[in-house]
Structure 1
Amino acid sequence: MGLLPVVALVAFLVVAPARATAQPGGCDPLGGGTECLLPFPSDWHTRADPTTPTGRRVAFTPDVLPRNASGSAVNPTAWNRADGFSPGATLIAHVPGLDPVASGMAPVTDIGRSLDADSPVVLLEEATGERWPHWAEIDSNDPRRRALLIHPARNLRDGHRYVVALRGPRDAAGREIPPNPAFARVAGARLAGHDPLRARQRQLRPALAALAAHGLDPASLHLAWDFTVASTRSLTGDLVTLRDDALRALGSRAPASTVTGVTDFTPEQDARIAREVTGRVTVPSYLTLPGGLPGSLLRRGRDGAPRRSPFGPVEARFRCEVPRSAFDRPSWPALYGHGLLGSRSEVGAGNVKAMAAEHGFTFCATDWIGMAQDDIPVVLAALADVTAFPAIPERSQQGLLNAIFLGRALTHPEGFAAHPAFRTGDGRPLVDTTRPLVFDGNSQGGILGGALVAASPDIRTAVLGVTGMNYGVLLNRSSAFAPFQQVLDLSYPDRLRQQVVLQLLQLLWDRGETNGYANHLGDRRVLMHIAFGDHQVANVAADAQARTIGARLAAPALAPGRSPDRVPHWGVEPVRLPHAGSAVVVWDSGTPAPPTTNTPPTGAEHGRDPHADPRSSVDARRQKAVFLTTGVVVDVCGGAPCTAPPTG
């Protein structure tokens, strides 16, 4: 089924008028009644649990979660497995009349201001008082109830507790906005036991004490709240469990595989690729549906941990492109990660073939199931009713395992190398299995690729092209989200509620994309290639990723005057090349700077989309190849900022 018919079907399902519902009893009284979960994220919506690493557990009830236009309640089971919130969570509050400029809040163009002593927004780690860099903005998509969005400039630490404080917010005329009435009472004198706000005061007392200990008088604040970031076990435990179980069962053997097709090309048919091989790799399944079909969830035991499916393994389909040079000298084994809701066939794109031919890589790809073409109906259904969303990140984790097994089959001497499809006519190998496996992905292949690189025991060096992380930040800013935004607008028409929905999705998405794994990429070498002004993957999300993983900025990054930022790429330490280690290289095709608002660059004033330009550049491919094979980022731009010729 194509995308537009599915959009129409979803529209039909969600246009029923919403039921009138009473104010749920579990809403945070500090939110002012604007949206039940605000401010978000908040430990008000957790409970004590001594069995988790954080000592907390998310405790949503259907009454507090946002209902869609048809009034459907959300099943909170998947969310309540978490012992905290996303390390990259956007912090959301509603302050009527707020003007962030008049208030002096740090914008995305001047993140350093967020650490000033008088910053009107303070984000600090509760235990240490460390101030955390961030930027603040008003939701530019909402002309009425415009949410205040506070974005950590690098991911928060797994398992740690943070406090947010707002002080002295002002309206457009510069007038100070009166304190949140409920918070003023909570922050004041001890309330009587029968007072409706007494429970909130008791819960918030440690956070207020932490603020006071670090020089912020709670009585002077407009609003404050606290939240716990999910532990590493909560974020990555499902994938680690199924990975370890599958690899333990595999042992030292190669994964079972079947070749289903071998196509040899003459030089006239394809001057770069000599052979295309397709087939299937057998992978243990941890999904609930036979064959791991779209819509599957992880099968879980009584303890909630993933368990092997009773339906047997899944067959991960693959496609490999073998360059002509491999028939003279065995090629380097490489995995490729495809783009948004695409398929393994992207490994046959011209830029991937060029990379293979120019630098002697055999690229193999499998579908990123969970976020592949077959999953489009599930994605649309999840945007219509978020109860369906867990199938996306949970099936994605099986997709990551499939990629790990494909990589093991590609590099094991008794895997693909033992099949005639991966040998010359006289029996010589086409792939050098003594070389370490590497990864190269673009767009979604980069966004999910960081999770693969963190989880794979075989990949130590990777290129993440036109990448970023954290879909909760990316979607508002992506031109590629436009058809999906239509569904979200129908199902959750209130834009303030949409912001809450996006952050709820991110809490689960962390388990299947880089955002949940970025704090653990420090022992990998990762090269990030960024297209300046990218219309599909926002540069702000790439900068946050670079700060989080400790990547260095290849300098000079941009020509003077190209960036609107006071300090371009604030917090990403510059380095002159060559550099051995993780780095981010910015490729400039002349596209105007991206919007400084949470909106996509879709108007004519934003120029053409440079999203495909870095991978299409001969120089960029040369830099990628050297990095993948040596771990060193070399200068291919003559000491100047890197530029990529516009494609198309």
Structure 2
Amino acid sequence: MRMRSLTRSAAGTTLAAALAVGLAAGFTSPADAQDAAASLASLPASSATPSSAPSPAHTGCDPIAGTACLLPFPDDWYTRPDHSIPTGRRIDFTASDLPVSALAGPADPTAWNRLDGFSPGSALVLTVPGLDLAASGLAPVTDIGRSLVADAPIVIIDETTGARWPYWAEIDANDPQHRALLVHPARDFLDGHHYAVGIRNLRSATGAKIPAPAPFARILSHQLPKQDPLSERQRELKPVLTTLRRNGVRTSDLYLAWDFTVASTASLTGDLTSIRDNAFARLGSAAPTYTVTSVTDLTATQDPNIARVVEGTIQLPSYLSQPGGPTGSVFNRGPNGRPAQLPGNIQTADFRCEIPRAAWTKPSQAALYGHGLLGSRNEVGSGNVKAMAGEHDFTFCATDWIGMAADDPNTVIAALANLSAFPEVTERTQQGVLNALFLGRDLVNPAGFAASPAFRTADGRSLLDSRAGVVYDGNSQGGILGGVLVAVSPDVKRAVLGVTAMNYSILLNRSVDFTELQPALDAGYPDKLQQQIVFQLMQMLWDHAETDGYAQHLTDGHEVLMDVAFGDHQVANVAADVEARTIGARLHVPALASGRSPDTAPYWGIAPMIGPAYKGSAMVVWDSGTPPAPLTNTAPTGPQYGHDPHEDPRNSPAVRLQKAVFLTTGVVIDVCGSAPCAEPPVS
């Protein structure tokens, strides 16, 4: 077994730190903070104790880099052969490999060890003492094309296809001590594929070549005798070195080389698709059971756009471990490892629908709405959503994204400080997606909402056009999670993902929102280098509940319009660009006015839309005049970054017109007059 010493903090220290975390994260009362403290301090023993597992393929940390465990990351050293799963490899972490929480102790690797590879959005993480990005010629985010030149210092090869992979490289600006090198795929790695990495000819600020770590240098030097501790690792790396040589990388130039496997589609999406398939098979042709709890009719004076608000609940199977699936639940897993319903466990999902005045003249288009970070279904009643409904005859209905909703801040805080608790976020979020899928089915099934007097006129005419199906519109977190809903929905074929992106491991450091949650991460994992590893480990689980894990197939049978706010302070544009490249979205051009982007080739790798009316998935960039975001992995805090444009696109009548046409026809019309799309900031 891979083992190293493990220590726990004293209980009093844990409680005090948790209390400080709760207050720093913006809780409004000490009682709220005490709840967060309890979430951390009262974790069950099983959350901090590694489960029994077969003997790993290796012992200890990968010796090639000679630094912290799990570096370089991702790395097939931490997998073992398993021919029963699609990739033939299984993640094989032990508690001694994973970062140890200062609050909760060692992490349980069980959730990771179900997977057959790493995240398709994984950043490559390693430390290179003395590295200078410019002197080494590493491709920055402003010049991604440089990553594919013949002599690029970092070469990533898809061994399944033989193709070079694009990326950008940066130094972790949050950690001047370790200065970790972060290498982000410019387009997500492909599900189930195997990659070889070669890093060569790295330079210090003086231009001096940085020598390879001593263990790796020994592997390259000569054939090691079998009794040498590095002999087996040398044998394993031979195919990687062969692949690199075939691609013009001389072994003598290497600083480091290794390989990794990306999780298969079945591994990434299998939990959610299994509960979807089970729940819908049991539902059959029926509509989900629902109860209308209130109907509020509004006069035009009270609301010029919305004539009726309908609220209620939907009942569906819960696949979570606690009755009713409260916050903190994880999946109840059956003998095959997939989620299974406990006998009689029912999820009750609250919903709210806003029916526009126009529906009394012409039945409205049914639409699901996705709310923002740790919000609620009540966001469907915000001004911009009601304006969209009233202007374009949409009935928007929403339910809470449980797992990442208003009930969940304490659980999220606990999970940031303790990796073992992270499935409580991602697994409940998947149940939340299923809740939204059932809400969508009630919108389109004639025996669903259309059969209720709450969705009919006084003379019995339906206010919903059930023939038009259901579409999706979500903003911020509703865009990040909305891609999952669209990818797995049997009913939604078109969606707008507003101020969106994917891959929380990129987004967190770059978001002003995360500054309130950073104290939780600091309390659990104070070392900044370990935090970058924690982000990557979290992403391996987050992939199951956010678009990053579904992006390869998001546009298979679906059409998606991405609306992006240039310089967004909350959802980083760089991660939206990766999403657009991954899903094959076309770009409205010109995207920005000349001089607005700091990039050498703005929107590298994203093909332009063809013509003023393009049918298909696309990305439109909306510019409110905000300065570009930092080029580092830091948030745009401070007056030099100006107004946060995050709310601007959804509040634009032009954006709402473009969205409405797209959602009803699949055509992206040019509402910007063949010019960059610009809107004044929301006051």
Q: TM-score, normalised by structure 2?
A: 0.92
Aligned to 1:27: 61
Greater shift in the superposed pair: 149-158 or 209-218: 209-218
Aligned to 2:600: 566
Select 1:591's aligned residue among 619, 626, 631.
626
Over residues 135-184 of structure 1, what are the superposed CA-to-partner deviations in whole Å (9 max), with x where a residue is unaligned? 00000000100110000000111000001111111112222111121111
Contact 2:65 2:256 in 1 (8 A): no
1:87/1:184 Cα in 2 relative to 1: closer, same or farther (>3 Å)? same
- Structural mapping, 1:544-623, within 5 Å: 544-575=578-609, 576-623=611-658
Deviation at 1:310, TM superposition (A): 2.1
Select 1:262's aligned residue among 260, 275, 295.
295
Aligned to 1:628: 663
Q: Distance in 1 between matches of 2:368 and 2:299?
A: 24
Runs of 4+ in structure 1 off by over 3 angstroms are 4-15
1:630/1:12 Cα in 2 relative to 1: closer, same or farther (>3 Å)? closer
SS in 2 for 1:166: strand
Deviation at 1:629, TM superposition (A): 0.3
1:272/1:71 Cα in 2 relative to 1: closer, same or farther (>3 Å)? closer
Q: Distance in 1 between matches of 2:185 and 2:641?
A: 26
Deviation at 1:495, TM superposition (A): 0.7
1:139 corresponds to 2:172: yes
Q: Distance in 2 between matches of 1:548 and 1:328?
A: 41
1:254/1:11 Cα in 2 relative to 1: closer, same or farther (>3 Å)? closer
Aligned to 1:484: 517
Deviation at 1:128, TM superposition (A): 3.3
1:448 corresponds to 2:481: yes
Aligned to 1:42: 75
Q: Distance in 1 between matches of 2:455 and 2:92?
A: 52
Aligned to 2:331: 298
1:421 corresponds to 2:468: no
- Structural mapping, 1:73-222, within 5 Å: 73-222=106-255
1:413/1:341 Cα in 2 relative to 1: closer, same or farther (>3 Å)? same
1:71/1:350 Cα in 2 relative to 1: closer, same or farther (>3 Å)? closer
Deviation at 1:577, TM superposition (A): 2.4
Over residues 275-327 of structure 1, what are the superposed CA-to-partner deviations in whole Å (9 max), with x where a residue is unaligned? 00000111111110110111111111111011122242101110000001111
Q: Distance in 1 between matches of 2:338 and 2:297?
A: 45
Deviation at 1:188, TM superposition (A): 3.2
Q: Which runs of 5+ in 2 are unaligned?
A: 1-21, 42-57
Aligned to 2:97: 64
Q: Distance in 2 between matches of 1:203 and 1:459?
A: 46
SS in 1 for 2:487: helix
- Structural mapping, 1:326-475, within 5 Å: 326-475=359-508
SS in 2 for 1:291: coil
1:241 corresponds to 2:265: no
Contact 1:48 1:55 in 2 (8 A): yes
The one-letter code of the counterpart of 1:574 is P
Q: Distance in 2 between matches of 1:408 and 1:165?
A: 49
Deviation at 1:473, TM superposition (A): 0.5
Contact 1:184 1:219 in 2 (8 A): no
- Structural mapping, 1:244-323, within 5 Å: 244-323=277-356
Q: Distance in 1 between matches of 2:579 and 2:299?
A: 42
Q: Distance in 2 between matches of 1:155 and 1:457?
A: 25
Q: Distance in 2 between matches of 1:13 and 1:195?
A: 47
Deviation at 1:25, TM superposition (A): 5.4
Deviation at 1:215, TM superposition (A): 2.1
The one-letter code of the counterpart of 1:42 is D
Q: Distance in 1 between matches of 2:477 and 2:101?
A: 27
SS in 2 for 1:373: coil
Deviation at 1:44, TM superposition (A): 0.3
Over residues 565-615 of structure 1, what are the superposed CA-to-partner deviations in whole Å (9 max), with x where a residue is unaligned? 011111101124210000000000000011110000011111110000000
Greater shift in the superposed pair: 494-503 or 93-102: 93-102
Deviation at 1:11, TM superposition (A): 7.4
Q: Distance in 1 between matches of 2:182 and 2:675?
A: 36
Contact 1:11 1:487 in 2 (8 A): no
CA RMSD of aligned residues (A): 1.6
Q: Distance in 1 between matches of 2:524 and 2:345?
A: 36
SS in 2 for 1:67: coil
Aligned to 1:641: 676
The one-letter code of the counterpart of 1:377 is N
Q: Distance in 2 between matches of 1:477 and 1:368?
A: 23
SS in 1 for 2:196: strand
1:485/1:269 Cα in 2 relative to 1: closer, same or farther (>3 Å)? same
1:533 corresponds to 2:557: no
Deviation at 1:10, TM superposition (A): 5.5
Deviation at 1:12, TM superposition (A): 9.8
Contact 2:39 2:410 in 1 (8 A): no
The one-letter code of the counterpart of 1:212 is R
The one-letter code of the counterpart of 1:556 is P
Contact 2:372 2:478 in 1 (8 A): yes
Q: Distance in 2 between matches of 1:542 and 1:556?
A: 17
Deviation at 1:436, TM superposition (A): 1.7
Contact 2:104 2:524 in 1 (8 A): no
SS in 2 for 1:512: coil
1:322/1:14 Cα in 2 relative to 1: closer, same or farther (>3 Å)? closer
SS in 2 for 1:377: helix
Contact 1:47 1:56 in 2 (8 A): yes
Q: Distance in 2 between matches of 1:388 and 1:416?
A: 37
Contact 2:475 2:500 in 1 (8 A): yes
The one-letter code of the counterpart of 1:521 is L
Select 1:3's aligned residue among 27, 30, 37.
27
The one-letter code of the counterpart of 2:441 is R
Aligned to 2:530: 497
1:372/1:14 Cα in 2 relative to 1: closer, same or farther (>3 Å)? closer
The one-letter code of the counterpart of 2:575 is A
Contact 1:7 1:380 in 2 (8 A): no
SS in 1 for 2:100: coil
Q: Distance in 2 between matches of 1:74 and 1:164?
A: 28
Contact 1:11 1:490 in 2 (8 A): no
Deviation at 1:441, TM superposition (A): 0.3
Q: Which runs of 5+ in 1 are unaligned?
A: 16-23
Contact 2:324 2:346 in 1 (8 A): yes
The one-letter code of the counterpart of 2:113 is N
Q: Percent identity?
A: 61
